[in-house]
Each structure stands twice: as structure tokens, then as C-alpha cells.
Amino acid sequence: MLIIDWHLDKTKKIPLYQQVIEQIKIKISSGDWPPGSKIPSQRTMSEILGVNRSTINTAVNELIADGLLETSVGSGTKVANNSWSLLASSTAMWNHFTNRGQQQPNLATIQKINTYEFDQNIIRLGTGELSPDFYPKEFMGSALHALAEEISQLGYAEPLGLYPLRKELCRYLKRLQVVTAPDCLLIVSGALQALQLISLGLLNRTSTLYLERPSYLFSLNLFQSAGVRLHGIPMDDEGLSLDSFRPAGNTSRCLYTIPCFQNPTGVTMAAERRQTVYNWCAKERLPIIEDDVYRELWLDAPPPNPIKALDSQGLVLYIGSFSKALSPGLRIGWIAGPKPVISRLADIKNQIDYGSSSLSQWAVHQLLSSGSFYRHLEDVRDKLKWRREICRRALEEHFTGLATWQMPSGGFYVWLRLNTPLAMNALFHTALKNGLLLNPGNLYDKQTSHYLRLSFAYAGETDLAEGLSRLSFLLKHSF
């Protein structure tokens, strides 16, 4: 007979049925509950573990759905015969493969964040994504209805991406004083893929990337996996500060910058500073990767034109995306740049995924060409402004004396500076136990133990205030 020799921990934030699932999986993978064996009845389990029948029932159904348990009339519930092949235990042959590839795994904290993001019970105080409330159901619905009629084939798009979309994007970019041509634009599956293509196609182990410190890029292992050296440059209120900086003699070097509502600081590079940075890069012959994914999320006034708009020399690769202001699930972004660079990146994209979803490309084209994208942006700004206000009030109420901050003029982020440095990992885990998912500042600058990246874009309005209040309580009482 199979034995239940574990206890559930009701103080844990992990739901009880999930604890049951985890324990049963351990039993199966350890061989204590072998394939084909009959598991204890639900009544027995609920009595021994001291929980409701329904909790056990949820867990068992989940395990059946996962194929680990199976049930047949009259003979109760058994461990499925193929359960081992579904679990880790019997996959020794793959084991030495899984840490072998050249690509490093994600940072441990990022892996945890990615997992907990799908836990409904947690308040996400750092997520760099619009809340589902922002989804433009009506606009997107009209676009899909239109596409149902319009699309008459869905083959691979052209190597650079759907031509009508590139055309439309040129028009969009013209509003920002960026003059480009469909041939100089590559559609990608989000800005992250743009960076992946750049790391695969343009950089290598001799390359150095200069960038703001802190920066989003420090939280990725993308460039590190390619052996690229990241070299942080300090920032001030007007963005990247080049005063005390001189690049080394290396020929393969680039500047990476997020000039609008920078991730994680929220700082926007001033117009004059953009010109300074551009001139300096032109003089130093330093190409620029301009990551402008937050541009359309301005809340007070439109930000200065892109650095790309100053680019008379083909110096700038300009990255944009529909993930931040429209919908990350579409996975559509773009790179604009000199044609030979774009061709090289397109060739690589072609080698790794044969282009982005044509369906998504058509959907974005529809939203842009019908103008709904621009109407949607107005909605987004209204709602986001109100969330920024909620956040500002909560910060003033709960964090005065505990931290300092500057409210950004757009984007998602408040770069909260704690008055006392803290052990970032401990804070992350304590917060998690208290139902809060944080993005600790050391993700974006390994040296820091002073900062948190807050986002007012994701958590529900009530949750945002509640989460910040709970966080301040933790900071006051647990640290």
C-alpha cells in the first residue's frame, strides 16, 4: 500500500492543492509510488492531510490531466505507466545535454519571476507590461473581423517581413522625423529578438557594448552568452552621461541606449543630450543601438525625437516594438537601419525562425492603417496616467522617510531608492512569501542593493496601492 508520509504547510503562499501535486510527483519520481500502483482514495488523503476533499480532487484531476495518474471505472486511480517518462527521473541520457549548450540559462531571479508571473494570487509590483485591462478588445476585434475577410493566404512573409506593414511603419516613423525605406526595415518577434539577432549577427567575443548603468540589458544573459562585454556608463537626470567616459581601442564596439523612459530608471534623454551623444558617437565611430520601445507611453508631453532622426551617417540601428503600448502577445517589433546591416540580420532571422507570425503582422498592419492604434494610444495614456497617480500617492503615503524616487514622465517604471541598502535576494524572497513579486534593482546593476524597479502598469489599481503598502510594512518590520 502506498503511504502518505508528508504534511502540508498551511502558512505557505503556495496553494494546498499545488502542494499535494508536488508531493505526489515526488513520490512518483522517487519510485515510492511506482507506475501501475493504486493511489490512496481521495477520502483517505483528505483525512490524513487534514484538508477538504475538493482540494484533493483538484490535485488529482490536475495530475490526471498531466498524464501522471490515470483512472478507470471500478479500479480507482493509478499511477500511469508512462509517468516516469513524463518526469525527470528517467531522462539521464539528456542530463548532460541540458547544461551544455552555449546559451547560458536565465538569471535565477528572472527564472523565478517568470514562473511566479503566472500565479494569480501574487501582486506583481515590477512587471514591465500593461495590465490585461488595457487590452483593446474592440479595436482588436474589428481588426480580426477584417482580417477574416482580407487574408487570402498565410504563407511565409517576405524575408524582411510583410511589405504593407513595413510601408506603414515607414509612415509611422516619418512622424518621428525618422526617414527610412521598407528595404531598411526588418520585422522581428519583439525587441528582444532584435537584440538576439544583433548578438548572433553583429557581435562576438571581441565586442564591447557600452550602455547605461543600470540597464535592462544587465538582466539578460543574451549578450553574455555570446561573449560580449557589457560596460556600464553613469546616467544623470538627462540620460547617459559621457563626460568622464572614453571608449577603449577595440574596433568592435557599440553603444546601446534606451533614451525614452529608460528601463529601469524611467529617465528620458534630453533633446540636447541626444545631439551630444550622436555627435560624440560619430566622432568616435561608435555605432548606436537605440532601443525605443517605451516611446509611445509618454504621459505629459511627447519625448524628443529619436537619435535616429539625427542620423545622417547610417550610424543608428533603431529598435521599436508593439509589445509595450499595444500587446506583447502579438510579438511584433522592428529594426530600422542601414540596408546591409538589415540584410545581414534578416538572413539570420531567416535561419532561426523563417520570419515572424504573418497573422500578427497582418493584425498590426490593420491596427496601424485603420488608425485604431493611435486611438488606442490615447486610451492607454489616460489609464496609465491615473495609475501613475495612484502609485505616486501610495509612495508618498507609505515610503516617505523610507525611500526616495522621481515620478517618470512616461513609461512604466519608478526607480525606487531605498534609504538603507538591503540584501536584495532576502527581500525578494520575503516579499514573495507575502504575496509580492518584485524586480530587485540588482537585476539591472549587479552592484546595487539600494534600488527596486517598481512598475505602475501591471498590478490592478487596488492591488497596486495594497502591494505598495504591504511592501513598506515589510521594509519597516522585517529588515
Question: What HEC string does 285-297 produce?
Answer: CCCEEEECCCHHH
Closer residue to a copy of itself (CB): 44 or 357: 357
Cα–Cα distance for residue pair 343/361, rounded to 1 Å: 19
Q: How far apart are CA 50 and CA 62, in angstroms?
A: 20
Minimum CB–partner distance for residue 372 and a copy of itself (Å): 13
CB nearer a copy of itself, residue 3 or residue 352: 352
**Cα separation, 116 vs 22, whole angstroms:** 16
The answer to whether the CB of 236 falls within 8 A of the CB of 214 is no
Q: Is 452 left (phi over 0), alpha (psi -120 to 50) or beta?
A: beta
Name the residue nearer to a copy of itself (CB basis): 136 or 266. Answer: 136
Is residue 270 within 8 Å of residue 307, measured between CB atoms?
Answer: no
Q: 419 with 403: CB under 8 angstroms?
A: yes
Burial pattern 370-396, b for ≥16 Cβ within 10 A else e, equals: eebbeebbeebbebbeebbebbeebbe
258 close to 453: Cβ distance less than 8 angstroms: no
Q: How far is the CB of 367 from a copy of itself (least distance, A)?
A: 12
For a copy of itself, the closer CB: 51 or 325: 325
Q: Which is nearer to a copy of itself, 158 or 238 (CB)?
A: 158
Residue 64 neighbours by CB under 8 Å, 6+ apart: 70, 71, 77
Q: What is the dihedral of CA 466, 471, 472, 475, to 10 degrees?
A: 160
Of 332 and 418, which CB lies nearer to a copy of itself in the complex structure? 332
Q: Please, what is the minimum distance in Å from the beta carbon of residue 426 to a copy of itself?
A: 24
Choose between 352 and 423: whose C-beta lies nearer to a copy of itself.
352
Please identify, using beta-carbon distances, which residue of 98 and 400 lies nearer to a copy of itself. Answer: 98
Residue among 11 and 102 whose Cβ is closer to a copy of itself: 102
* Least distance from a copy of itself to the Cβ atom of residue 359, Å: 5
How far, in Å, CA of 366 to CA of 139, rounded? 10
Provide the minimum distance between the beta carbon of 100 and a copy of itself in the complex, in angstroms, as a whole number: 5
CB-neighbour burial class of residue 141 (10 A; exposed 0-12, middle 13-18, buried 19+)? exposed
Cell of 399: 515610503
> What b-and-e string marks burial along 96-106, b requiring 16 or more CB atoms within 10 Å of the CB?
eeeeeeeeeee
Query: How far, in Å, are 13, 34, 57, 58, 275 from residue 17 at the CA level?
Result: 12, 21, 8, 6, 58
Kindly state the helix (H) or strand (E) to which residue 116 belongs, with its residue range.
helix 108-116
Question: Minimum distance between the CB of residue 206 and a copy of itself, rounded to whole angstroms?
Answer: 8
CB of 204 to a copy of itself, least distance (A): 5
Q: How far is the CB of 151 from a copy of itself (least distance, A)?
A: 7
| Smallest distance from a copy of itself to CB 410, Å | 21
How big, in percent rounded to 5, are the helix, strand and coil portions of the chain? 45, 15, 40
Cβ closest to a copy of itself, residue 268 vs residue 372: 372
CB nearer a copy of itself, residue 331 or residue 398: 331
Amino acid at 209: L
Give the Cα separation of 320 and 308 in Å (integer): 11
User: Residue 60, SS3?
Assistant: helix
Instruction: Quote the least distance from Cβ 455 to a copy of itself, whole Å.
Output: 14
- Taking the complex as a whole, how short is the minimal distance between the CB of residue 402 and a copy of itself, in angstroms? 31
